[in-house]
Amino acid sequence: MSGEDDHLNIAIVGSGICGMCSAMALARQGHTVSVYDRDPAPPDGDADAAFFNWQRRGAAQFRHPHAFLGLLCNIIEENYPDLLEAFYAAGARRVDFAEMLSAELRAAYVAEPGDAKLWVLMCRRATMETVFRRYVESMANVSIHNGVRVTGMCTQVDSQGTLDVTGITIEQAGRTSERTADIVVDASGRLSKFPGWFAALDRTVHEEKDDAEIVYYTRHYRLQPGCEEPPRGERPGAGDLGYLKFGVFPGDNGTFAIILCLPVAERLLQRAVRAGATFDQICLSIPGLEPWLVDNRSSPTTEPFGIADIQSVWRHYVTAGEPLARNFFAVGDAALRTNPLYGRGCSTGILHAHILADVIAESRDPVSRAHRFDERTEKELRPIFSASLREDRNGIARSAAVLEGRTLDKPDGLKKWFRLAFGDALGAASREQLHVLRGAMKSFHLLENPGAFLKDPKIRRTVLRYMLKGRRRNSAKRLQPGPGRAEMHDLLGLSADAAVSPDESEIVNPA
């Protein structure tokens, strides 16, 4: 592209992770980018100041721990090497594939070229967001406006009925005004108001929506002075006990967080887990979490808090081959989101932001931009979304079986038996065979379509060899060490007869 039209005036609604990633990707193409967010700017100071003091009512997940997978890390490393340095300076850590291996696999480890892409960045989301923010605000052609609530869209309809988005309306300190823009980007997250604003104009944003049927609880901790994190790779710090999923998220500057995730039907445990002492008691009973808390290795820095309404959502802005509006794009959670348990949202979000920047650079025609954005979103993000949905459905079936005291290990039908046997063999092989784990990690880090590694003939042969070893052996490797459901209820003194009132089942989520 050349000429004056190349230089666009772009309004981004939301300065969360995807708002910042979109601003970075668009600003480096020379566009003028204005970002609007209802929340205040991050406070001055270090990572702790951002975590404890930043008021982030607009992003309910702000204080829940986040994993930053290979997809996100590699996009940053390849496109913004100086940003990566800023993450390290703020206390974020790079953890490579080799560092995550069990002692047995580490002993046999020989590096391969692709391993350099299998890494995670470990830090709190507050740290991640602050570093993104500081980087973006230092770009000459970006302005970020905080304390500004976007209250609507400015639009025009031509004689053919085509809708053009021409700007936004904003409210700041009680005053309403308009901001015109060549392109409006909705990066306002899971509670985006744009679908409602389109509905008011008689344009329907079609939505696919599935409930993950879980409630997610977090507690943050700090290692005591002189204490180290437990060694990696010995006991899995994440797993599924059937009625409870758990995970530890090492953070920056000596911090870490633990999540406990419960099915919505586990009311008694949900109520219990909100008390700090019970949360810790549960963690101490799970071998993968115990080393993080035992012997006063750490102390909590927050009470437990939760978040509910965990859904997978995909919003369609092109239906029946027609864009809903011209010069409007939704990115990140505003467009699609998956269960946070898989830690994929920020990775799919930064990819989405870069897809947007690509399509804006490729064509000047607003309709072909809308089509191209839709096509690439379907091609590159749909496989991740579909895999997450399948994992959710399996998880819902597993926890329902545990709750009802049924076993899923004795399937009715050959197809189901084969699926289970294959899954167990794959799980066992990826614990014991480096090449299988490497393949599985490419999927985990979203560096290829989920499950693509299973097309590798060597991996297939290994998994089939494991199937021949027998299901009993393989499924024993799948089971996570930890108390069963009845044992956990006993341990916590929970009575199955205790009633839970609707009020008590509400979720506390600090701003």
Ligand X SMILES: Cc1cc2nc3c(=O)[nH]c(=O)nc-3n(C[C@H](O)[C@H](O)[C@H](O)COP(=O)(O)OP(=O)(O)OC[C@H]3O[C@@H](n4cnc5c(N)ncnc54)[C@H](O)[C@@H]3O)c2cc1C
Please state, as a whole number, how many other Cβ atoms lie within 10 Å of the Cβ of residue 83. 16
Sole binder of ligand X in the list 34, 270, 278, 347 (CB under 6 A): 347
DSSP character for 493? Answer: T
Question: Nearest Cα to 152, choosing from 176, 183, 182, 187?
Answer: 176
- What's the min distance (Å) between Cβ of 345 and ligand X? 2
Residue from 64, 124, 445, 478 in contact with ligand X (CB under 6 A): 64
Pick 38 or 372: Cβ nearer ligand X: 38
Kindly state the smallest distance separating residue 118's Cβ from ligand X, in Å: 16
User: By CB neighbour count within 10 A (0-12 exposed, 13-18 middle, 19+ buried), where does 89 fall?
Assistant: exposed
Q: Under the criterion CB under 6 A, does residue 121 sit at the interface with ligand X?
A: no
CA distances from 412 to 148, 322, 346, 399, 425 (A): 57, 45, 39, 18, 19
The answer to whether 349 contacts ligand X (rule: CB under 6 A) is yes
End-to-end Cα, the chain, rounded Å: 44
Q: Is 17 a binder of ligand X (CB under 6 A)?
A: yes
Q: Which stretch binds ligand X (CB under 6 A): 62-70, 293-301, 424-432, 463-471?
A: 62-70
Query: Under a CB-based contact definition with an 8 Å cutoff, are residues 238 and 86 in contact?
Result: no
Q: Write the DSSP string, 392-458.
A: HHHHHHHHHHHHTT--SSS-SSHHHHHHHHHHHHHHHHHHH-HHHHHHHHHHHTTSSSTTGGGG-HH
Candidate residues 11, 18, 120, 370; the one interacting with ligand X per rule CB under 6 A: 18
Residue whose entry in the numeric block shows the structure tokens 């090492």 = 250
Looking at the Cβ atoms of 14 and 263, the one nearer to ligand X is: 14
Q: How far apart are CA 237 and CA 284, in angstroms?
A: 12
Specify the residue, 13 or 463, whose C-beta has the smaller distance to ligand X. Answer: 13
User: Could you tell me the smallest distance in angstroms from the CB atom of residue 53 to ligand X?
Assistant: 16
Q: What is the DSSP string of 319-337?
A: ETTEESSBSEEE-GGGTEE
Binding segment for ligand X (CB under 6 A), chosen from 76-84, 185-193, 270-278, 373-381, is: 185-193
Q: Which residue is nearest to ligand X (CB)?
A: 58
Nearer of residues 266 and 333 to ligand X, judged by Cβ: 333
Please tell me whether residue 273 binds ligand X under the rule CB under 6 A.
no
Helix (H, G, I), strand (E, B) or coil at 110: coil
CB-based contacts of 316-321 (< 8 A; 24+ apart in sequence): 316/205, 316/206, 316/207, 316/208, 317/205, 317/370, 317/374, 318/370, 318/371, 318/374, 319/204, 319/206
Asked if 328 contacts 316 with a C-beta cutoff of 8 angstroms, the reply is no
CA distance 204 to 163: 13
Question: Minimum CB separation from ligand X for residue 90, in Å?
Answer: 17
Residue with token string 């953070």: 251
Q: Which region, left, alpha or beta, applies to residue 91 given φ > 0 means left and ψ of -120 to 50 means alpha?
A: left
Stretch that binds ligand X, among 35-43, 204-212, 357-365, 427-435 (CB under 6 A): 35-43
Contacts with ligand X, 282-321, as mask; x by CB under 6 A: -------------------------x--------------
Q: Does 14 bind ligand X (CB under 6 A)?
A: yes
Smaller CB distance to ligand X: residue 132 or 466?
132
Q: Which is nearer to ligand X, 283 or 307 (CB)?
A: 307
Member of 31, 63, 66, 442 binding ligand X (CB under 6 A): 66
Q: Find the binding residues for ligand X in span 200-229 (CB under 6 A).
A: 216
Q: What mask, x for binding ligand X by CB under 6 A, covers residues 123 to 152?
A: --------------------------xx--
Q: How far is the CB of 36 from ligand X (least distance, A)?
A: 5
Residue 388 touches ligand X, criterion: CB under 6 A: no
Rounded CA-CA distance 507/495 in Å is: 21
Rounded least distance, CB 4 to ligand X, Å? 29
Nearest Cα to 245, choosing from 341, 167, 315? 341
Q: Is 245 in the site for ligand X (CB under 6 A)?
A: no
* Stretch of residues binding ligand X (CB under 6 A), selected from 104-112, 152-160, 333-341, 501-509: 333-341
* CA dihedral sign of residues 359, 360, 361, 365: positive
User: For ligand X, which is the closer residue by CB, 335 or 440?
Assistant: 335
Question: Least separation, in Å, of the C-beta of 462 and ligand X?
Answer: 30
Q: Which stretch binds ligand X (CB under 6 A): 41-49, 113-121, 342-350, 397-405?
A: 342-350
Q: Which is nearer to ligand X, 13 or 123 (CB)?
A: 13
Pair of tokens at residue 456? 């590798």
Pick between residue 153 and residue 223 the one whose CB is nearest to ligand X.
153
Of the residues 346, 356, 396, 429, which one makes contact with ligand X according to CB under 6 A: 346
455 closest CA partner among 442, 468, 445: 442
CA distance 76 to 360: 20
Rule CB under 6 A: say whether 59 interacts with ligand X.
Answer: yes
Nearer to ligand X, 67 or 142 (CB): 67
Shortest spacing between CB 181 and ligand X, in angstroms:
14
DSSP labels, 227-262: PPPPPTTSS-SEEE-SS-EEEEEE-STTEEEEEEEE
In 133-233 the beta strands, taken as DSSP E runs, fall at: 142-146, 148-157, 163-172, 175-180, 183-186, 206-211, 214-223
The residue ranges that bind ligand X (CB under 6 A) are 13-19, 36-39, 58-59, 61, 64, 66-67, 149-150, 187-189, 193, 216, 307, 332-334, 337, 340, 343-347, 349
